[in-house]
């Protein structure tokens, strides 16, 4: 099935993102970062590339941008290291790949894509994922590559304590998780979704969040939609939010917008979780709900291009 409604949707995290606390220069940098990822992925789709390829392309660009908590911008864990989670899913086949708690990985989404395409597994973690990566041209970087003064300062404030800091949050709340993600519909009518994160500042015990869990932070099914989540990871895992949105379409017969808003604005709020998601369905409909102050988000199709940050933007 050929479609002219192809498009790409991306996010760069959600949380307490207030215009009053954003400098014009930083706001412009975020907007440019989102736009760069959006255009790079849309070009893949425009040339007839797959939704999977477009999702990976968008996330690689975001992972390479230190503004976002994924890849190069990943936060410091309790040991002062960087451990990444990522997942990607093909809506046509329901095949998926994910990696968790992998250190010093330049582009976690690319290793997740290799798990999807070149293994019989869905989720690999830690040293096993690194061993798997050795069979491919997957790049690892030194600690210096991931060093960012802002991220280091975040860690220093809570280093040695039992606290953890989630990205895009007021320090006293410690509630929000920064991630990047993308969903796409290609010209062949296929959907895909992907999510990547550096997790939470000062995280311990090998903590793994929803970004690595298919059905929690990432899900794609050609029969319904493609979803990538961002927010309080533990709540997204408890609610299986990405799959929940798909189920509301499949079993309740809801539209994309109604389904994802129920999943985020109703169900997630009921259990005390904060965050949002991006989504696209097989008809090219797009929805990007969130129940917090802001979400770095953007989409592009043949009709329009939108890049937003704050709650009150129409």
pLDDT at 165: 46
Q: Which two tokens stand for residue 184?
A: 């796409």
pLDDT at 304: 96
pLDDT tens readout for residues 97-111: 999 999 999 999 999
For residue 201, name the pLDDT band (cuts at 50, 70, 90): low
Confirm whether 210 is domain-assigned: yes
Q: Across the chain, how many H-helices and E-strands are there?
A: 10, 12
Using CB atoms within 10 A of its CB, is residue 266 exposed (0-12), middle (13-18) or buried (19+)?
exposed
Report how many domains make up the chain.
Answer: 1
pLDDT at 56 over 90: yes
pLDDT tens readout for residues 126-176: 999 999 999 999 999 988 887 666 655 664 554 544 444 454 444 444 433
Beta pairing, strands 123-125 & 96-103: parallel
Confirm whether 233 is domain-assigned: yes
Confirm whether 1 is domain-assigned: no
Tell me the angle at which helices 51-63 and 108-118 cross, rounded to the nearest 10 degrees: 150
More confident residue, 209 or 76: 209
pLDDT at 311: 86
Confirm whether 2 is domain-assigned: no
Using CB atoms within 10 A of its CB, is residue 131 exposed (0-12), middle (13-18) or buried (19+)?
exposed
Mean pLDDT of 44-54: 98
Helix or strand run (H / E) with residue 89: strand 83-90
More confident residue, 155 or 205: 205
pLDDT at 202: 58
Mean pLDDT of 258-272: 96
What number of CA atoms fall less than 13 Å from residue 101's CA on the CB side? 14
Confirm whether 88 is domain-assigned: yes
Domain that holds residue 101: 7-310
Radius of gyration over every alpha carbon of the chain, rounded to an integer in angstroms: 17
Buried-exposed string 218-253: b where 16+ CB fall within 10 A, e elsewhere: bbbbbebbbbbbbbbbebbbebbbbbbbbbbbeeee
Cα 28 to Cα 25: distance, rounded to the nearest angstrom: 5
CATH of the domain at 136: 3.60.20.30
Percent of the chain at pLDDT above 70?
Answer: 86
Active site residues: 179
Confirm whether 148 is domain-assigned: yes
């Amino acid at each position: 099935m050929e479609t002219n409604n192809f498009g790409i949707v991306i996010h760069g995290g959600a949380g307490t993102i207030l215009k009053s606390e954003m400098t014009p220069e930083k706001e412009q940098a975020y907007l440019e970062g989102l736009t760069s990822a959006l255009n790079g992925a849309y070009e893949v789709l425009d040339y007839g590339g797959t939704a999977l390829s477009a999702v990976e392309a968008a996330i690689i660009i975001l992972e390479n941008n230190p503004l976002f908590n994924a890849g190069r911008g990943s936060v410091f864990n309790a040991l002062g290291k960087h451990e990444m989670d990522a997942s990607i899913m093909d809506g046509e086949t329901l095949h998926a790949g994910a990696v968790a708690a992998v250190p010093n990985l330049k582009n976690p989404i690319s290793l997740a894509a290799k798990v999807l395409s070149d293994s019989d597994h869905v989720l690999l973690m830690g040293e096993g994922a690194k061993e798997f990566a050795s069979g491919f041209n997957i790049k690892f970087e030194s600690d210096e590559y991931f060093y960012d003064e802002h991220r280091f300062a975040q860690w220093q404030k809570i280093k040695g304590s039992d606290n953890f800091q989630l990205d895009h949050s007021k320090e006293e709340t410690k509630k929000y998780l920064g991630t990047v993600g993308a969903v796409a519909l290609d010209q062949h009518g296929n959907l895909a979704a992907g999510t990547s994160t550096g997790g939470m500042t000062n995280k311990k015990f090998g903590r793994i969040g929803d970004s690595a869990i298919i059905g929690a932070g990432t899900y794609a099914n050609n029969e319904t939609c493609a979803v990538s989540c961002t927010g309080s990871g533990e709540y997204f895992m408890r609610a299986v939010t990405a799959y929940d949105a798909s189920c509301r379409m499949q079993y309740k017969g809801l539209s994309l917008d109604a389904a994802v808003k129920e999943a985020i604005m109703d169900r997630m709020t009921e259990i005390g979780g904060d965050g949002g998601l991006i989504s696209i369905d097989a008809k090219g409909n797009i929805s990007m709900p969130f129940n917090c102050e802001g979400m770095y988000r953007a989409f592009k199709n043949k009709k329009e291009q939108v890049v937003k940050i704050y709650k009150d933007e129409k």
